[in-house]
């Protein structure tokens, strides 16, 4: 039985973790912390029957757990990760603090890194790409919600060197839970419902450097993205439409073959057959990533569509998938795929 | 041309008024005030092209307008109403401050009334019932969003004395705009979308005394309501399902006949034919109130269903309807019916 | 390992069963039939990765399974149930064919019963009430989606004899999946979205006799319901608001105590603490039924609110709960509670 | 008073026309036809109080009207247009039959054109571009819903010759009313709600040749589009995200200046100030087209976002705008802008 702790357990990713662990046969949640709700039980915070009592962070017995999930904001997470590791537990950080390998890039997009010394050992937790490093890691940087789908769509293609674009257009659409549980005009029902809006378009969203970092590792060359996040009137799910150009000799079947080879035996990647297109419904409430391919109407031009559930494969489900790998379990244990 | 002012113009009822006045041929908006957005133009607050510049309340030229709409909270409205009347303008208050004729009832549900001396002259602004008083009024208490539909459904029936219930069950369902524009957990998209919840059920919602006051006036006897508001995952609209018992000799056609007689020539009341039931779609984005009747399965038992748009017939549209009556215009001028 | 078959596997209840069995550790789906999609695999019908091949009904090896789930329409189910039992398997029927114990009532609301001889042995599959009979049953009549919540809310109260009403008002609100997967004007997105409508109100919905039958068994006396189903703009979930009158000496805490006693140890019933009200969010995507209680504002008058997921606790989840009981398993195995 | 007829009045565009004409001061609807609902009144078809009686097409007095709106499918419209013109009325066709100037292109995307002889005199009804021709026209080809926004966004830029792309990516998102009122799996609530899907992506949607035709006229050169329509879980509205490359010396302010010059005095085009982005909420329920501009993160790279209401500026509102121009009225008469 893996003994787990959750810090920051009353945000959406914390709630999702608690729900997953309710049905995970090998995890016992030893503690869950919340600054706002310490002393309350979980059922008083979310519409559920869970009796888990929330405690304050300083009461958390870090030395009595095997792994800690950090559902805390960037900046805060890095300091906590150090404490967790010092206490002898492994750490899965759902914030951005360890995703960017280059501290200078981190500091350009965020602020001074509180614990830069930990960056070198952090492993980027994309299981379909980095499984062996994840298995050995003490510290996992769980990917952002937006990057996961596009990275899985593009990884085999960039590795194979077939993509010609220097600049990739990613037109992304996300549900509102991606904006977090804090009330704001942006998350007010009346502003979102029946609406569609664009925010942080171009090269300004903080997931841009994370996406570019990984794409460049896959490709071994410079790649730039144009990234346009849209806010959808749904609670969950991200669908990303990606426009690529390849050598005109490359056929759709070649691309699908690359996907199939890269993800053979991977239970969380669902490659759709020709003629079908990924939708949110393919993945919400599961830990799947769906991939599909369509011709853009000219030789060598294709449209990739990929979807995930932003809270599961885009956050807490992927964190559990990482944990499963770290502890030698079947990677989908406790997950719906 | 009627010169109008709007105080508190950046809440939902203020925005709705501004939209109506954009197409009202006989109204010029002389000023619109906002404490939060003074100095900005309307297009910076809502997704619209309106150039109207918002001003601070203390800059509002009350003596240069014919009528002022108060879209301010209860407590605040009463004091402003006095100022408006003192400046020589007529006043339509969309808050609760002048809806309850009995100051003791007001003070039980709210707090001490700031200007109780104005209560006697306030007219309850339900045009289909009180048109002649409205025409003469200086001060209108615009009805609450929840009361409007049930009052119109029950008015002719209580007047005719056919309803036997001492206690009426009103099962009401409202869209989220009824909760106002302020962000809160209650209005967070993720909490409302795909959900349905009950709040202030029984006898605890502040619209209860307003409904009971009017029902008792219509009936000339004591009437109690059990009122269960539900929050719907829609932005606009209220549908109320009402359970009544009448003398077994009363037929459905008798009830419809009472409605037809009471609302003959009333452009904003839409009485559905037998076999059809009012839906939100019958009324949203219009100033209509839809009424329908269904047998509850036994003689003398009926279900009334009524719907309105909470921001139009339930607030700003009804306010404009009142204004039209006050200034001798066609009561639907500028309104969609 | 329980060998299961699903007949009519491509409606919503069939799809939900397939999803549940994907994570149920003790069930193997031996066959799934579909008239429309025979020959296709499941992933071609629903947005999922399941490879289960659909077969025509006449190819179904009824004698190779332990249990068959009938997701077929009333009228059809009864005949199939006979075949299933003849082949030696147990049968869980999700249609209405065996819910009404009195064939005359069935024939009043439906049409002549195809296999009336099976009615006496059918067990009404409400596990929290009839667990011991379910465990022994060959043939289960799985409850309708609307009855489940109100029956669980009212069962302990009627058994205790505290409810005074001869006539109970049930104001019910359901998501669209309750209307089935067949396209129609009623299920067209534009007609449902942003709308709320009433249908089959009063005493005309086919779940009325089922509700009344069970309430009368609980109470040991005649009980009539006024039942008003509303169609909500959500995909899943039913919330029912019930108005009851009890002896004025009965307190809220007495009612909650009755619930707690009746459902002690029942993992699928979630009784909310005083002051909280059941919402759809308490139960969707789970096999829970939530119960809550509010004062209606006068002594002895209460409002019960109950919610379930119509496809899970209201259909396929409850069917699996019944199956678990029939085969001696933990009743929530494979279910999310 | 303009005497108007509507053929095919019970689809969504017909209903929208009827709603607009309810408040248009200069139009009298002389007839409205429907094959399915002939003999019924409008209130029996849609949730509204309109008493307009629907008639069969062969009863329509074409010679008693000044203008006929064809809300009929392509193929059917062309033949009706000929009859309308022969009867002496002017004709506004909302189908695709007269949008493509080159009959060969039409026949590639549709089928043989029934009345190719009328093509030369048809005017493409985009009022902000072709106002003078529209004013004189007997026959208007009302634009498709998808083309309107992108054409208005790109027209001044292509005319000025600043766009360098040979291939323009248009990532479009539409509400469900664009799919029409006929029930189908594609429009079933459960399939659309909480979902986002892509259809006819690349170069396969029938609005592609229409968009390319007009872009090429604006640019005076070959332009290809990659067009990816997404189906949004909303009833109304289209938002299109367009990726363009211009000479690096061109600044955002230059582009806005081109828009402002082209659309000076145009009441239906809403150019957003720098820093704001068009949303559906800017335009739904109005005849506006919103335009906004964002940097794509590199010199010379921009993202245009444009939104309209697909049933108003994308169909019936634009048709009325065309009619107003044809009859010498203010182009926004009866429209909400």
Rg (CA), chain A: 19
Neighbours of chain B (3+ CB pairs under 8 A): A, C, D
How many CB pairs (< 8 A) connect C and D? 53
Which chain A residues touch B235 with a CB distance below 8 Å? 189-190, 193-194
Angle between helices D127-136 and D317-326 (to 10 degrees): 40
Taking an 8 Å cut-off on Cβ atoms, the answer to whether D189 and C233 are in contact is: yes
Return the pLDDT at C275. 86
Neighbours of chain A (3+ CB pairs under 8 A): B, C, D
CA distance linking residue A211 with residue A229, whole number of Å: 13
Shortest distance, CA A282 to any CA of chain C (angstroms): 5
Shortest distance, CA B143 to any CA of chain D (angstroms): 24
CA distance linking residue A270 with residue A255, whole number of Å: 14
Q: Is A171 on the interface with D (CB under 8 A)?
A: yes
Catalytic residues of B: 145
Residue B241 domain-assigned? yes
Q: Is D298 on the interface with A (CB under 8 A)?
A: yes
Portion 315-334 of D in contact with A at CB < 8 A = none
- Give per-residue pLDDT as tens, D299-322: 999 999 999 999 999 999 999 999
Catalytic residues of C: 145
- Going by the DSSP 8-state scheme, the letter that residue B280 receives in this structure is G
Return the pLDDT at C274. 84
List the single best residue of D18, D22, D43, D47 to mutate versus B (max B Cβ within 10 A).
D47
Q: Give yes or no for a contact between B57 and B76, defined as CB atoms under 8 angstroms apart.
A: no
- What is the rounded average pLDDT of the residues D220-224? 98
Shortest distance, CA D332 to any CA of chain B (angstroms): 11
Q: Give the CATH number for residue D238.
A: 3.30.360.10
Paired strand residues for A123: A140
Do residue C197 and residue C290 come from a single domain?
yes
Please name the residue of chain A whose CA is at the shortest distance from the CA of residue B235.
A190
Return the pLDDT at D235. 98
Q: Is B24 a residue whose pLDDT tops 90?
A: yes
Do residue D250 and residue D189 come from a single domain?
yes
CA distance linking residue B169 with residue B240, whole number of Å: 10
Which chain A residues touch B185 with a CB distance below 8 Å? 181, 183
Return the pLDDT at A224. 98
Do residue A105 and residue A153 come from a single domain?
no
CA distance linking residue D231 with residue D189, whole number of Å: 12
> Which contacts qualify for C120-123: CB closer than 8 Å, 24 or more apart?
C122/C93, C122/C98
Which chain A residues touch C48 with a CB distance below 8 Å? 282
Task: Name the residue among C181, C189, C234 with its Cβ closest to that of D192.
Answer: C189
Do residue A154 and residue A276 come from a single domain?
yes
Do residue D100 and residue D195 come from a single domain?
no
The number of distinct structural domains making up chain D is: 2
- The CA angle A121-A126-A130, to the nearest 5 degrees, is 60
Return the pLDDT at B90. 98
Return the pLDDT at D274. 84
Q: Is C188 on the interface with D (CB under 8 A)?
A: yes
Please name the residue of chain A whose CA is at the shortest distance from the CA of residue B189.
A189
Do residue A305 and residue A156 come from a single domain?
yes
Taking an 8 Å cut-off on Cβ atoms, the answer to whether D48 and B282 are in contact is: yes
- What is the rounded average pLDDT of the residues A104-128? 97
Which chain A residues touch B45 with a CB distance below 8 Å? none
Residue A127 domain-assigned? no
How crowded is residue A273: how many other Cβ atoms within 10 Å of its Cβ? 11
Taking an 8 Å cut-off on Cβ atoms, the answer to whether C235 and D190 are in contact is: yes
Task: Name the residue among D185, D189, D234 with its Cβ closest to that of C192.
Answer: D189
With cut-offs at 50, 70 and 90, classify the pLDDT of residue C176: very high
With cut-offs at 50, 70 and 90, classify the pLDDT of residue D268: very high
- Give per-residue pLDDT as tens, D237-265: 999 999 999 999 999 999 999 999 999 99
Return the pLDDT at D275. 86
Taking an 8 Å cut-off on Cβ atoms, the answer to whether C228 and B241 are in contact is: yes
CA distance linking residue A281 with residue D188, whole number of Å: 14
Taking an 8 Å cut-off on Cβ atoms, the answer to whether D49 and B288 are in contact is: yes
CA-wise closest residue to D259 among D287, D216, D291, D219? D291
pTM: 0.97
Rg (CA), chain D: 19
Shortest distance, CA C203 to any CA of chain B (angstroms): 5
CA-wise closest residue to C88 among C119, C57, C124, C64? C64
Do residue D296 and residue D210 come from a single domain?
yes
Do residue C299 and residue C206 come from a single domain?
yes
Q: Give yes or no for a contact between C66 and C50, defined as CB atoms under 8 angstroms apart.
A: no
- What is the rounded average pLDDT of the residues C297-316? 98
- Give per-residue pLDDT as tens, C30-87: 999 999 999 999 999 999 999 999 999 999 999 999 999 999 999 999 999 999 999 9
Residue B131 domain-assigned? no
How much of chain D, in percent, has pLDDT values that exceed 90?
99
CA distance linking residue A278 with residue A256, whole number of Å: 14
Return the pLDDT at C308. 98
Residue A199 domain-assigned? yes
Q: Give the CATH number for residue B43.
A: 3.40.50.720
Q: Give yes or no for a contact between C273 and A40, defined as CB atoms under 8 angstroms apart.
A: no
- Give per-residue pLDDT as tens, D70-102: 999 999 999 999 999 999 999 999 999 999 999
Which chain D residues touch B336 with a CB distance below 8 Å? 22-23
Return the pLDDT at B275. 86
Burial class (CB in 10 A: 0-12, 13-18, 19+), D131: middle
Mean pLDDT for all residues in chain A:
97
CA distance linking residue A170 with residue D52, whole number of Å: 49
Task: Name the residue among B47, B49, B285 with its Cβ closest to that of D281.
Answer: B47
Residue D270 domain-assigned? yes
D268 is catalytic: no
Portion 27-56 of B in contact with D at CB < 8 A = 47-49
CA distance linking residue C281 with residue C269, whole number of Å: 14
Taking an 8 Å cut-off on Cβ atoms, the answer to whether C189 and D12 are in contact is: no
Taking an 8 Å cut-off on Cβ atoms, the answer to whether B336 and D22 are in contact is: yes
- Give per-residue pLDDT as tens, A252-261: 999 999 999 9
How crowded is residue A117: how many other Cβ atoms within 10 Å of its Cβ? 9
Residue C97 domain-assigned? yes
Task: Name the residue among A281, A282, A336 with its Cβ closest to that of C23.
Answer: A336
Shortest distance, CA B185 to any CA of chain A (angstroms): 6
Do residue A203 and residue A82 come from a single domain?
no
Query: Given the DSSP bridges, would you call strands C67-70 and C90-93 parallel, antiparallel or unpaired?
Result: parallel
- Give per-residue pLDDT as tens, B282-301: 999 999 999 999 999 999 99
3-state per-residue secondary structure call for chain D = CEEEEEECCCCHHHHHHHHHHHHCCCEEEEEEECCCCCCCEHHHCCCCCCCCECECHHHCCHHHCCEEEECCCCCHHHHHHHHHHHCCCEEEECCCCCCCCCHHHHHHHCCCCCCHHHHHHCEECCHHHHHHHHHHCCEEECCCHHHHHHHHHHHHHHHCCCECCCEEEEEEEECHHHHCCCCCHHHEHHHHCCCCEECCCECCCCHHHHHHHHHHHHHCCCCEEEEEEEECCCCCCEEEEEEEEECCCCCHHHHHHHHHHHCCCCCCEEECCCCCCCCHHHCCCCCCEEEEEEECCCCCEEEEEEEECCCHHHHHHHHHHHHHHHCCCCCCCCCCC
- Token output for A8: 């920051």
With cut-offs at 50, 70 and 90, classify the pLDDT of residue B274: confident
CA distance linking residue C128 with residue C322, whole number of Å: 10
Burial class (CB in 10 A: 0-12, 13-18, 19+), D327: middle
Do residue D16 and residue D77 come from a single domain?
yes
CA-wise closest residue to C60 among C8, C116, C120? C8
How much of chain C, in percent, has pLDDT values that exceed 70?
100
Q: Is B211 a residue whose pLDDT tops 90?
A: yes
Residue positions counted in chain D = 337
Mean pLDDT for all residues in chain D:
97
Q: Is A275 a residue whose pLDDT tops 90?
A: no
Do residue D102 and residue D202 come from a single domain?
no
Return the pLDDT at A10. 97
Taking an 8 Å cut-off on Cβ atoms, the answer to whether A279 and D235 are in contact is: no
Taking an 8 Å cut-off on Cβ atoms, the answer to whether D288 and B23 are in contact is: no
Residue D107 domain-assigned? yes
- What is the rounded average pLDDT of the residues B264-293? 97
* DSSP output for C289-326: EEEEEEE-SSTTEEEEEEEE-TTIIIIIHHHHHHHHHH
Mean pLDDT for all residues in chain B:
97
Burial class (CB in 10 A: 0-12, 13-18, 19+), D100: buried
Residue A93 domain-assigned? yes
**First vs last Cα of chain C: how many Å apart?**
22
Do residue B237 and residue B293 come from a single domain?
yes
How crowded is residue C288: how many other Cβ atoms within 10 Å of its Cβ? 26
Q: Identify the domain containing residue B235 by its residue range.
A: 146-310
């Amino acid at each position: 039985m893996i003994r787990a702790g959750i810090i920051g357990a009353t945000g959406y990713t914390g709630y999702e973790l608690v729900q997953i662990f309710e049905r995970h046969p090998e995890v016992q949640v030893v503690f869950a912390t919340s600054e706002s709700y310490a002393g309350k039980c979980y059922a008083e915070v979310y519409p559920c029957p869970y009796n888990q009592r929330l405690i304050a962070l300083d009461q958390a017995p870090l030395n009595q757990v095997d792994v800690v999930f950090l559902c805390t904001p960037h900046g805060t997470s890095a300091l906590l990760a150090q404490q967790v590791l010092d206490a002898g537990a492994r750490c899965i950080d759902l914030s951005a603090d360890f995703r960017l390998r280059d501290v200078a890039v981190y500091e350009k997009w965020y602020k001074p890194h509180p614990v830069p010394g930990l960056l070198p050992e952090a492993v980027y937790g994309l299981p379909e790409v980095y499984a062996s490093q994840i298995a050995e890691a003490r510290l996992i940087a769980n990917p952002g919600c937006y990057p996961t789908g596009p990275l899985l769509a593009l990884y085999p293609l960039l590795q194979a060197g077939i993509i010609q674009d220097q600049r990739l257009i990613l037109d992304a659409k996300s549900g509102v839970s991606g904006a977090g549980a804090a009330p704001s005009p942006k998350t007010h029902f009346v502003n979102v419902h029946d609406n569609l809006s664009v925010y942080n378009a171009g090269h300004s969203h903080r997931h841009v450097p994370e996406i570019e970092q990984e794409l460049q590792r896959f490709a071994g060359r410079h790649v730039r993205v144009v990234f346009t996040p849209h806010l959808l009137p749904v609670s969950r799910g991200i669908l990303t439409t990606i426009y690529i150009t390849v050598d005109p000799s490359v056929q759709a079947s070649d691309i699908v073959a690359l996907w199939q080879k890269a993800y053979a035996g991977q239970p969380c990647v669902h490659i759709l057959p020709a003629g079908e297109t990924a939708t949110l419904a393919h993945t919400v409430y599961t830990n799947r990533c769906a991939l599909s391919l369509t011709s853009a109407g000219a030789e060598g031009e294709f449209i990739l569509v990929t979807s995930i559930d932003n809270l599961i494969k885009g956050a807490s489900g992927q964190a559990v998938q990482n944990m499963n790998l770290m502890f030698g379990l079947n990677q989908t244990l406790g997950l719906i795929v």
